[in-house]
Amino acid sequence: MKPVKVGLLGLGTVGGGTVTVLARNAVEISRRAGRGIEISHAAARAYDPDRIQGLDRIGRIGDDAFAIVNDPDVQIVVELIGGYSPARELVLQAIANGKHVVTANKALIATHGNEIFAAARDRGVMVGFEAAVAGGIPIIKALREGLAANHIEWIAGIINGTGNFILTEMRDKQRDFADVLAEAQALGYAEADPTFDIEGIDAAHKLTILSSLAFGVPLRFEHCFTEGIAKVGALDVAYAAELGYRIKHLGITRRSAGGIELRVHPTLIPERRLIANVDGVMNAVLVKGDAVGPTLYYGAGAGALPTASAVVADLVDVVRTLTTDPSNRVPHLAFQPDELADIPSLPMEAVQTAYYLRLSALDQPGVMARIASILADQGISIEAIKQKEPAEGETHVPLVMLTHRVIERQMNTAIAQIEALDSVQGEVTRIRMETLSG
């Protein structure tokens, strides 16, 4: 089957990321979608060709965005220009021309979404906007589909990475707001004009969208109460910590007796909550449903590739709908049935992990050296050792070690040799260890 043809508006951060993800993961994406996805036509005023991997796969690059929404070959328009205008006109024109649309534009959806969705419905086209809220976290899909059984009670989200980075730095380093903001700007985490981020307007756009998805009301950005983080002092962060709280810039929407709350403001939350421990530029959205209880969705809320992850997920959604019969729209195992691969399973003996080891060794000179030499012979290096004091009258002491990563087979050999030592009592307790970072 021929690839689906996509027209791309914008080759900035997210546009470039989208080109890269579509190029890099082209095979896997088409194994999932049932069909290739090709950017046949892109438009950008200016872009840096050296910084975008996969640019050579784009059919044609011009500078006229309207040429794309009017290009009869383009089936799906991806709008990554941002802002209100001409994004609104471009999206409406694409819809009028019968094209599906995918956008990452939270300002556009929050303020013109009602109009855009009505037009899309009339014309029978899809508008995907997963990338508009919380970057790569599939929170829109979770709310619209995954939690569809629930009466949603409230949502609280850290949905602006810049604001969260600033508050995290203020806490970790006891620094003042202005100071951290300057650093964030230098690092590129904050815009030269940071108003949208630190005043909460960006978060308000996203919260407006989440609120409508949760409660089934039209988008009403103008009803959102917004308070920024500029007035939070280093002192407040410290006092909150003394009382067992963290300060986060939250977007909160709640269904209460008098109506729907829609508010963005700095908020003290108990430090034991998982969301209180979401730090730096990361985002998280906590959703309370009556059936499911609290669920939390965490990940990167911005950046080229994370946001592109959501843009391309929307593309796959559209392509699956265009391509397959409805009952097989989403393959049972994510990949099309004839695209399942026969990658072998790795036997446990061949798996590489780090280890925690605990054993009971004779409290005598030379014992530790013997153990260390057995480990070294198997290529196992030790990251940390803790030797405990012997209990009164005990000749053996507990010895605890953390090792670096090694193939399990070698660890098995080493453990068998250690257990065979006269100076070691009983079995070696072994628990695998993972950093979960790579």
Distance CA 90, CA 283 (A): 29
**What are the φ and ψ backbone dihedral angles of 115, each rounded to 5 degrees?**
-65, -45
Give min distance, CB of 266 to a copy of itself, in A.
Answer: 5
Scan residues 316-335 and list those touching a copy of itself (CB under 8 A). 316-317, 321-322, 325-335
> H or E segment at 261?
strand 259-270
- Mask for 37-56, x = binds a copy of itself (CB under 8 A): --------------------
HEC secondary structure over 350-388? HCEEEEEEEEEEECCCCHHHHHHHHHHHCCCCEEEEEEC
By beta-carbon proximity to a copy of itself, the closer residue of 43 and 276 is 276
According to DSSP, the residues that pair with 294 across neighbouring strands are 288
Q: What is the CA radius of gyration of the chain?
A: 27
Selection from 252, 230, 248 nearest residue 240 by Cα:
248
Interaction pattern, residues 132-161, with a copy of itself; x per rule: CB under 8 A: ---xxxx--xxxxxxxxxxx----x-----
Is the CB of 162 or the CB of 309 nearer to a copy of itself?
309
Binding a copy of itself by CB under 8 A: which of 44, 240, 415, 428? 240
Q: Is 312 in the site for a copy of itself (CB under 8 A)?
A: yes
Residue 365 in contact with a copy of itself, rule: CB under 8 A: no
Site string for a copy of itself, 392-431 (x = CB under 8 A): ------x-x-x--------------------------x-x
Q: What residues numbered 204-223 form the site for a copy of itself, per CB under 8 A?
A: 212-220, 223
What SS3 class is residue 202? Answer: helix
E strand residue ranges, 388-435: 396-403, 406-407, 424-433
Task: Tell whether residue 12 is among the known ligand binding residues.
Answer: yes
Q: Is 199 annotated as a binding residue?
A: no
CA angle 74, 80, 84 (to 5 degrees): 110
259 binds a copy of itself (CB under 8 A): yes
Place of tokens 């409508």: 212
Q: Which of these ranges, 60-68, 74-82, 161-169, 238-246, lies near a copy of itself under the rule CB under 8 A?
A: 238-246
Compare residues 57 and 151 and give the one whose CB is closer to a copy of itself.
Answer: 151
Whether the ω angle into residue 365 lies within 30 degrees of 0, i.e. cis, is no
Cα atoms in the 13 Å half-sphere on the side-chain side of 233: 3
Q: Which two tokens stand for residue 146?
A: 């995954």
The answer to whether 188 is a known ligand-binding residue is: no
Among the listed residues 111, 162, 267, 403, the single contact to a copy of itself using CB under 8 A:
267
Q: Considering the rule CB under 8 A, would residue 297 count as an interface residue with a copy of itself?
A: yes
d(CA 150, CA 156): 16
Site membership for a copy of itself, residue 292 (CB under 8 A): yes
Cβ at position 401, least distance to a copy of itself in Å: 10
Q: Is residue 9 annotated as involved in ligand binding?
A: yes
Binding-site sequence positions for NADPH: 106
